[in-house]
Amino acid sequence: MAVATEPIAEICRRARGAALQLAGASTEVKDDALRRAAALLRARIDAILDANAGDVAAGLEAGLDPALIDRLSLDRERVEAMAVGLEAVIALPDPVGETIERKTLESGVELEQVRVPIGVVAIVYEARPNVTIDAAALCLKSGNAAVLRGSSSAAASNAVLAGIFAEAIAAAGLPAGSVELIAGGGRAELAELARQEGLVDLIIPRGGEGLKAALREVAEVPVLYAAGGNCHVYVHDDANLEMARRIAVNAKVQRPGVCNSAETLLVHAGVAAEFLPAALEELSSAGVEIVGDERVRELAGGVGIGPATERDWETEYHAMKIAVRVVDSLEEAIDHINRYGTAHSEAIVTGSEEAGRAFTGGVDAACVYVNASIRFTDGFVFGMGAEIGNSTQKLHARGPIGLRELTSTKYILVGTGQIRE
């Protein structure tokens, strides 16, 4: 494994060689490497936390905002969650070699479509050191070599975690180069990685809009964008208002610095006067800064509500802040979400199956909820073991990016001497 100043092309070339071997690795060997990595995470927890404490201290000194500090920070519970995530990936079926379709063509040739690894997958991510383990694990189990490029803010944490993973891979007899870590670096290094056509098969960025914009300008390698989330909760006029209050508060407060927290609350005018005062009071009491349109401010009672601007509807706060708007219809709520949302996770609270179907059919998003918190959007929660991110694209994957999303397909055809006339 490189944590290196060596040329990016050399790192990617080594990963390419490893990927060719990983494509034929058995499930048993890959799972053995993951099992060893989980054991090492638990055995080396003090070293992991020491490295992370240094990163967090540097981040605080540099003035990183609280949401970034939260994503950067590790504790014993979060390290244990990484180990549990590895064990969950072990328990999942190996997608490599899975038969998608089998049939006999008119010529008598037998056709089979099977899953195969993509090859070399580069993951570019900000702040979250747990992505180092999640991404490496998912790439390994799906037969891909991983080139990991974390942020400089997590350099020490990522180095320890990637070193642990590389040690486990070597002990299992898998090739060097199966996981490579590019430490930090600037935009020039990112651009060089994005131009490794022929060595890197796919780049997955997991970070803010600035990172994605930078990649769009320079990428020659295909990119699967793990998008941010400007997510909404909509309270319909027939909703159970106690349920709606619990869902809205959970979606905002449970962990506000992540991409599937609620940034906007939409409330139907028919229940706004009954619903908003208590809901706004609970949000405010939890420490949430609230901005709203004129009708929201009129119904706020004693809760301080700032005026919402066009920019508020567009903003992913990643913080204890929410924008609130009163709408006059389900159609208006859907239009607002499709205009301002990032196609990540959206929810309606309603007592009507018809309204639920209209919402799920009308909202263009990777994950659409009826009467549940959007905080459930997560590969681990979805039974994927872990995830690299949540894609809001429509090709080739949408939603949490897990094992199957890290595979392509191959057609295998077997004949008995047929030729095409």
Within a domain: 297: yes
pLDDT of residue 286: 97
Residues 251, 221, single domain; the answer is no
Q: How far apart are CA 416 and CA 159, in angstroms?
A: 53
Determine the pLDDT at residue 5.
64
pLDDT at 389: 82
Q: Note whether residue 419 is domain-resident.
A: no
Co-location of 200 and 319 in the same domain: no
Residues 323 and 285 in one domain: yes
- Tokens 């038969």 belong to which residue? 99
**CATH code where residue 280 lies:** 3.40.309.10
Q: Is residue 69 a part of any domain in this protein?
A: yes
Long-range pairs for 69-74 at CB < 8 Å and ≥24 separation? Answer: 70/255, 70/257, 71/126, 71/127, 71/128, 71/257, 71/258, 72/127, 72/128, 72/129, 72/153, 72/154, 72/157, 74/48, 74/49, 74/129, 74/130, 74/157
Looking at residue 371, its pLDDT comes to: 98
Residue 120 lies in a domain: yes
Q: What is the tally of structural domains in the chain?
A: 2
Beta 120-125 vs 289-292: how paired, if at all? Answer: unpaired
SS3 state of residue 401: coil
Q: Are 119 and 197 contained in the same domain?
A: yes
Please check whether residues 176 and 57 belong to one and the same domain: yes
Domain identity same for 207 and 258? no
Say if 421 falls within a structural domain. Answer: no
Q: Examine the domain organization and report whether 338 and 213 are in the same domain.
A: no
Residue 82 falls within a domain, yes or no? Answer: yes
The span from the CA of 408 to the CA of 43, in Å, is 35
User: What pLDDT, on the 0 to 100 scale, is given for residue 32?
Assistant: 98
Domain membership flag for residue 149: yes
Both 159 and 267 in a single domain? no
Residues 392 and 358 placed together within one structural domain of the fold: no
Give the three-class secondary structure for 420.
coil
370 and 392 belong to one structural domain:
no
Range of the domain at 280: 231-376
What pTM was computed for the model? 0.85
Q: Distance (Å, rounded) from C-alpha 421 to C-alpha 418?
A: 9
φ, ψ (nearest 5 deg) of residue 174: -90, 160
Shared domain for 120 and 176, answered yes or no, is: yes
Residue 2 lies in a domain: no
User: Letter for the amino acid at 95?
Assistant: P
Shared-domain flag, residues 204 and 240: no
Per-residue pLDDT of the chain (421 residues; tens, 9 = 90+): 545 468 999 999 999 999 999 999 999 999 999 999 999 999 999 999 999 999 999 999 999 988 789 889 999 999 999 999 999 999 999 999 999 999 999 999 999 999 999 999 999 988 789 999 999 999 999 999 999 999 889 999 999 999 999 999 999 999 999 999 997 667 788 899 999 999 999 999 987 777 888 888 899 999 998 767 999 999 999 999 999 999 999 999 999 988 899 999 999 999 999 999 999 999 999 999 999 999 999 999 889 999 999 999 999 998 999 999 999 999 999 999 999 999 999 999 999 999 999 999 999 999 999 999 999 998 889 988 778 888 888 888 889 999 999 999 999 999 999 999 8
